[in-house]
Amino acid sequence: MKKKISILTSGHPYYDERIFYKFARSLHKNGHEVTIICSTVESELDIVKDNIHVYGFNGGNLKKSEKVNKFTKYLINTNPDVIICCEPLPILAAKKIRKEIKKVRIIYDVTEWYPHQNMLRNYGKIKWIINYVYLFLFNVYAASYCSHLIIGEKSKTIPYKIFLPFLKKTIIGYYPSHEFFEYSPPLYDNNTFTICYVGIINRERGIFSFLDVLKRLKSINPKLNFRAKVIGAFENEIIKHEVSEFIKANKELNVEFTGWVSYDKLSDYLRDVDLCLELREKNFVFEHSFPIKIFEFMACGKTVIYADIKSLLKFNEIDEFGFLVNPTDIDLICKKIFLYLENPSLLQKHSQAARMLFEKKYNWEKIENLLLEIVEGNS
């Protein structure tokens, strides 16, 4: 039976890969009427994209209560049967609506550790603890009003199992769709080798380790013909300036910055890439969060070298298409890269294995029905 579904987010753009390209598109494709409401745009938004209605407002300077009221007004107009909330704050708006629309079901899609480290970055130790406890309990309180939790990965189920043991929970992973990701084998033929960084450009995600690796490769073999591709947006102007200064001081490096790329275009930008290098820092969030981009690299058939964070140490299949390394061991990372340079057949083998894993296990089409069963009330 066709349902009216509203997806609410106070922390992601409406075009977020999971919100728009997976949840919203899948639900619409299967006959449901889908609306996205977000508070992360610069000005009022009212558009239709791919038959999905998107409303947006700028919640940046609003108090939490004002933001909740804004979400509530949009929900009154959309009159949904199901509300999917991507953060705890919108759940409060969904809770208010349920007083008016008794039939409405509230679902919480959990993809982040809450509170996220960025929310507490500017606090001293005592205030950090107080705010952490407050926000943690607020998240549990909000989640308690939901009928179902969708959780992106197993590790993030732990607090909800402890504090909300009887609430229904389903893991729906971050796998990419066949629709947007095509296989592109490595182009390296003992000539140009292309190394890629993808994601937010900041220190925590390893941009400077990435650049240090490029510099070391060039110093080991000045004749080495390689290029680097950085796909993503700078976190802020400070990081942009620091990276720019590094490049100026190392003019021998061939680095292309593409800027931010939409989810549906990423596969095209990875087409000429031979290796994806991800050297994120080992902090709590990264150690206990599975790096989503690895599935997109697999879908395109890209070999990878990743930081040996805890979440990946449990992912044995990575050995079939790449290597795990200490992100601070630049010499070891270079050795792994030279292993590919000296063995193009290994590069091809890992590329094919990555795509095969995507085809067999790690694609959105394999898990799409889990979402449909929850929304349609069959789970």
Domains and CATH numbers, the chain: 4-175+364-375 (3.40.50.2000), 193-360 (3.40.50.2000)
Residues of the chain with confidence (pLDDT) below 50: none
Q: Does the predicted model carry a pTM greater than 0.85?
A: yes
Distances (CA, A) of 286 to 160, 249, 282, 340, 369: 19, 30, 6, 27, 29
Contact in structure between 36 and 52 (CB atoms under 8 Å): yes
Torsion sign (Cα): 76, 79, 85, 91? positive
Residue where the block lists tokens 């795990």: 324
Contact in structure between 304 and 273 (CB atoms under 8 Å): no
The residue among 7, 22, 160, 210 whose CA lies nearest residue 94 is 7
pLDDT digits (tens, 9 = 90+) for 177-236: 999 999 999 999 888 999 999 999 999 999 999 999 999 999 999 888 889 999 999 999
34: helix, strand or coil: strand
Q: Which pLDDT value is given to residue 281?
A: 93
Question: What does the chain come to in residues?
Answer: 379
Report d(CA 129, CA 267) in Å as an integer. Answer: 41
Radius of gyration of the chain (CA): 22
Q: Which pLDDT value is given to residue 379?
A: 63
